[in-house]
Amino acid sequence: MAGITQAQADAQLTAYLAAESAVLSGQSYELNGRKVTRADLAAIQTGIKVWNQRAQSLARGGIRVIGATPIG
């Protein structure tokens, strides 16, 4: 199975950013004294962080390991 491509990571990040914009324009409302929330803004913002990190990692050429000790 192939890994996630740069294009896929960028597309996911774009989708999460669009979702965040949509939620921010109408996150919740009140109806008959009840507050209704349309989406979980915190979950969307977590997704943005995850996909931003993946996109940046792929743009750099993959995962970097810092401070590893060779075993041999």
Report the chain (72 residues): mean pLDDT per 10 consecutive residues: 84 92 81 81 93 92 66 64
Q: What's the length of the chain?
A: 72
pLDDT of residue 33: 86
pTM over 0.75: no
Dist CA 42 CA 24 (whole Å) = 11
pLDDT of residue 37: 77
pLDDT of residue 27: 73
pLDDT of residue 72: 59
Question: In this structure, are residues 51 and 20 in contact, taking their beta carbons and an 8 Å threshold?
Answer: no
Dist CA 19 CA 36 (whole Å) = 17
**DSSP state, 22?**
H
